[in-house]
Amino acid sequence: MFDLEVENLTKCFGDFCAVDHLAFNVEHGEIFGLLGPNGAGKSTLIRMLTTLVPPTSGTARIFGFDIVRDANSVRQSIGVIPQAMTSDLDLSAEENMSIFAKLYSIPRDKRRRTIRELLKAVDLDQWADKPVKMFSGGMRRRLEIARGLVHEPKIFFLDEPTTGLDPVSRVAVWDMLARLKSQRDLTILVTTHYMDEADKLCDRVAIVDHGKLVALDSPLKLKASIPGKNILEVSFSEVPSGWEDVLKRLPEVADVKSDDHVFRISSNNGPRTTTELLEAARTAGIAVTSLSVQSTTLDDVFVHYTGHQLRDALQAPPASSSPFMIPRG
């Protein structure tokens, strides 16, 4: 049995389907990454899985509990870190944890012990009694991770846990997640749009676009699945006619894309293509003005499968952007 089974899960708002017949399974103990451009339906998917939004059709089961029919059993067994920072800024770290422990009906003596352990695990034990409004973004995120684990769930949902954090805090959050995962035997489902993070940390990655699953595999296999193992970015002093065809005929070249005089070449053998390319340029009497060779990254996989890098879409502004709210923290 899988920890999480998603079957044809769909959520439509009127004519628009944010999540469109998604199906996948998450195995026990893996870190499962959901990648997708803004508006791809990642947050809606997480909200359905965490019982916050009822699905239009289809279903999902977490440890066998149906997310609609057994919503309360699902809530008892999942840990959730929503996208918004949801800690109470006027309360201390410990108080925030304590309120949630009470919401999960954890008995008093166990409550104290668990809270202490978890705050230590996320390196916040020395700030336990300080109000959260004095915490940095990274500290707040770590506190929320600890809070989400207060009832010892076996599966953990995180919606963009590192968005808005500085690089150091991002690394700290991921290290913490990796450590907690092995210590606590967790299954983790996480959405992110930092490809490097997904590459390094996720056991498997699902790429979602327009609410549909477009690719699902381990980062290594995904990278191998697209044509070209290396990407060459090269520009020349001048570009004679038919030059793109010359480049395409170079050995091991899988694909060539050009933008004015800059060429992006996918190659199955970076070093060999590079040598031949320089040779061809010298023969043609053209100077190479810049050249870079990179390994395929998840970014390339992402662009390959979604076909675009930037997506403009209109969406309703979040209520939290209102200028009328009483400022806190």
Partner 1 sequence: MRRIWAIIERDLRRFRRSPTLIIVSMVLPLVQLVVLGYAFGGKIKNLKVGVVDQDHGVPAIKLKEMFQAVAANARTFDTVPYSDQAMALRDLRTGRINGVLNIPPNFSRDVLAGASPRVALVEDNTDQFSASALEGSLDQLLVPYNSKSIQPRLTADATLSIVEIYPYVPYIQYLLPGTIVMAIFISAMIGGGIIYIDDKARGLHEGYLVTPIRKLELIMGFNLSGAIKAVLAGMVLVTCGSIIAGIPDPLNILRLARMAILVMAAALALISMMFLLMVRVNDPLVPRAIFGVLNTVLFFPSGAVYPIQGFPPWMRVLTAVDPFTYAVHGFKELVLKNTGLMAISFDIAYLLGFAVLTMAAATLLFRRTL
- For residue 241, state whether it binds partner 1 (rule: CB under 8 A): no
Look at the chain and count its residues.
329
Q: How is residue 228 written in tokens?
A: 């070209």
- Under rule CB under 8 A, which residues in 116-155 are in contact with partner 1? 131
Nearer to partner 1, 285 or 317 (CB): 317
Q: Is 116 exposed, middle or buried (0-12, 13-18, 19+ CB in 10 A)?
A: middle
Nearer to partner 1, 46 or 231 (CB): 46
User: b or e along 224-242 (b: 16 or more beta carbons within 10 Å of the residue's beta carbon)?
Assistant: eebebbbbbebbbeeeeee
- Under rule CB under 8 A, which residues in 20-49 are in contact with partner 1? 47
- For residue 325, state whether it binds partner 1 (rule: CB under 8 A): yes
* Closest to 189 (Cα-Cα) out of 211, 220, 217, 160: 160
Task: Find the shortest distance in angstroms from Cβ 252 to partner 1.
Answer: 50
- For residue 52, state whether it binds partner 1 (rule: CB under 8 A): yes
Phi, psi of 2 (to 5 degrees): -85, 155
Decide: 18 and 211 in contact? Cβ < 8 Å.
Answer: yes
The binding track of 284-323 with respect to partner 1, each residue x by CB under 8 A or -, is ----------------------------------xxx-x-
Task: Find the shortest distance in angstroms from Cβ 324 to partner 1.
Answer: 5
Decide: 119 and 166 in contact? Cβ < 8 Å.
Answer: no
Distance CA 124, CA 121 (A): 8
Task: Find the shortest distance in angstroms from Cβ 191 to partner 1.
Answer: 15
The binding track of 54-93 with respect to partner 1, each residue x by CB under 8 A or -, is x-----------------x--xx-x-x-xxxxxxx-xx--
Decide: 232 and 258 in contact? Cβ < 8 Å.
Answer: no
- For residue 283, state whether it binds partner 1 (rule: CB under 8 A): no
- 142 sits in which H/E element: helix 137-148
- For residue 100, state whether it binds partner 1 (rule: CB under 8 A): yes
Stretch that binds partner 1, among 8-16, 52-60, 231-239, 248-256 (CB under 8 A): 52-60
Residue in the structure block whose two tokens are 């940390």: 201
Nearer to partner 1, 189 or 215 (CB): 189
Residues that bind partner 1 (CB under 8 A): 47, 50-54, 72, 75-76, 78, 80, 82-88, 90-91, 95, 99-100, 102-105, 131, 318-320, 322, 324-326
